[in-house]
Amino acid sequence: MSTYKAPLDDLRFALYDVLGAEALFADLGFADANRELIDAVLDEAARFTETVLAPLNRTGDEIGCVYDKASGDVTPPPGFKQAFDQFVEGGWTGLTNSPEHGGQGMPALVGAAMTEMVDSANLAWGNFPMLSHGAVKALETYGEDWQKTVFLQPLVEGKWTGTMCLTEPHCGTDLGLLKTRAEPLADGKYSITGTKIFITAGEHDLVPNIIHLVLAKLPDAPAGAKGISLFVVPKFKVERDGSVGERNAVRCGALEHKMGIHGSATCVMNFDGAEGYLVGAPHKGLQAMFVMMNSARLGVGVQGLSQSERAYQNALRYARERLQSRALTGAKNPDKPADPILVQPDVRRMLLSQKALIEGGRLLALSAYAQLDIAHHAQDAAARERADTLVSFLTPITKACLTEWSIENTYNAQQCFGGHGYIAEHGMEQLARDARITTLYEGTTGIQSLDLIGRKTAATQGAGLKLFLAEVEAFAKQHADDAALAEFLVPLRAKCEEWGKLTIATLTRAATNPDELGAASTDYLFYSGYVVLAYWWARSVAAANASDRPQAFKDAKRDTARFYFARILPRTLAHKAAIEAGADCLMALPDAGFGAH
């Protein structure tokens, strides 16, 4: 059975030493977010996730959610409701939400650290409160005043939970094809009819009411994505005065049979004339959808990181304990029948790969959340705009890379266990299965790649990339005389220069052949991710050297950075070659050439 220990030491290093969270929060006006309070939040989150959530992880996988076909009710695994009640009682559901709606008003950056712990401990359980955050953001941004009054506080306080009902069986990512319709009623409400699939936490008994945010089309809707509207549709009808009435005409039609996250209720939701309210302007639901999805995309990136972290902890423990064979340079434990497998170079390669991608990836994710805080709370409008551009650029990189790396990391953890990694006893196969969904949630890796190279680069003339490259250059100039960083700064600056040239060349080819963007997109995303991580590893070494951390901690950061630059950053060479190969080799084969099947 896998175990979990919250990585508080590295979380604190990332927050305080690298990102300067204390000064950042003070500048942004978070008067109460001092180090004493943040440490208390981290400590309590660690206690809750280690002792309450982590022991339920295997139970959730083995028992899963239970669906009652007759009633449409869904019962989560044993212990999930009791854990949720404790989560609500502890005030965790409103940690980063506005005090105006019953939240605690903490920075998003602190919430991200807490979320990593929750998802590492129990990814399936963490899905139940996760989607409420996106629902809250959409209602805060586009809801009418009465909708904010009626819906936000119960969602923030965890008395109700929220969902995002977007996709349908026939349309997938192309939401312009959706068929769910909304008919106006005489009392200002709307009758919603249609079927939504893959709805996380669409039905459960953790709370008495579930608030569905549903995309649908009005009778006069224009064709395509421009005709989408957003509606709030409660499981139990809610009037404008906040009173709760009878059961609405919305029902779970089935539970998806999934590869992993068995403890998470992934539902087919049927709306049969369910009553709801329009959120925002008619036919403008796409903007509200992106508010929900952008919030969720960073969260899913953290989910990928969380599975990597738990897998690494257990693989490292096993590598230290498992005695098998001898070190290639001679016995390290001559008094024992064999050496621990940790002495083997290839085992160390797998563990160092995990460590480098996790610790660097943690900074990638947390830095994106720091930019989110700046975008929402900075006093200076220019600072807010800069941060918004930067976080928009980093979001597809964070989501795609951290989730794809979770596949690599959980795979390497299984390899460390050998055959024991394939059986349920040690928990590695569950982590490998659970991690898979993170690459699909809120848009596949291919969708994130197109978003990065299309919307976030080509459409903005590289605005986010320019800001990031400027940040790297400023850091490099600041440490130009630091001999201890030279081994990292020289290759980092070279890669950044190459990144800029590669981007210009790719966009130039795409100007005459649009297929070039699609052909380059995935390799461009990973190239970008590896260069971004190189920056954060250079920042880590600089921060560690300047800190009062033990020398062993500083040495570990430096040695891991060296491994990253020597063994992982060179992956950019293959991605660059693939990008430069162009679209012709992908598009030349006729459809029939793929075969008869």
pLDDT at 586: 95
Residue 224 has pLDDT above 90, yes or no: no
Q: Would you please indicate which residues are annotated as catalytic (active-site) residues?
A: 442
pLDDT at 339: 87
User: Of 123, 129, 128, which is closest to residue 2 (Cα–Cα)?
Assistant: 123
Q: Of 321-325, 369-373, 427-431, which range is least confident?
A: 321-325
State the amino acid at position 41 in one-letter form.
V
Q: Which residue has the tokens 């129990």?
A: 122
Residue 335 has pLDDT above 90, yes or no: no
Domain boundary assignment for the chain: 452-588
Average of per-residue pLDDT across 274-296: 87
Q: Of 150-154, 295-299, 375-379, 555-559, which range is least confident?
A: 295-299
Spatial distance between the Cα atoms of 468 and 374, rounded to a whole number of angstroms: 15
Cβ atoms 539, 475 nearer than 8 A = yes
Pairing of strands 74-75, 244-247: unpaired
pLDDT at 290: 77
Residue 578 has pLDDT above 90, yes or no: yes
Per the prediction, the chain carries an average pLDDT of: 95
pLDDT tens sequence across 517-564 = 999 999 999 999 999 999 999 999 999 999 999 999 999 999 999 999
pLDDT tens sequence across 447-476 = 999 999 999 999 999 999 999 999 999 999
List the Cα angle 32/398/315 in 5-degree steps: 95
Residue 150 Cα distances to 1, 156, 238, 298, 314, angstroms = 44, 11, 8, 27, 45
Kindly state the helix (H) or strand (E) to which residue 449 belongs, with its residue range. helix 445-450
Q: Of 285-289, 320-324, 471-475, which range is least confident?
A: 285-289
Q: For the chain, give the percent of residues with pLDDT over 90.
A: 89
Q: What is the DSSP string of 34-97?
A: -HHHHHHHHHHHHHHIIIIIGGGHHHHHHH--EE-TTT--EEPPTTHHHHHHHHHHTTGGGTTS
DSSP 424: G
Kindly report the number of other CB atoms within 10 A of residue 511's CB atom: 10
pLDDT at 331: 87
Residue 143 has pLDDT above 80, yes or no: yes
Q: For the chain, give the percent of residues with pLDDT over 70.
A: 100
pLDDT tens sequence across 60-112 = 999 999 999 999 999 999 999 999 999 999 999 999 999 999 999 999 999 99
Q: Which residue has the tokens 């991608």?
A: 357
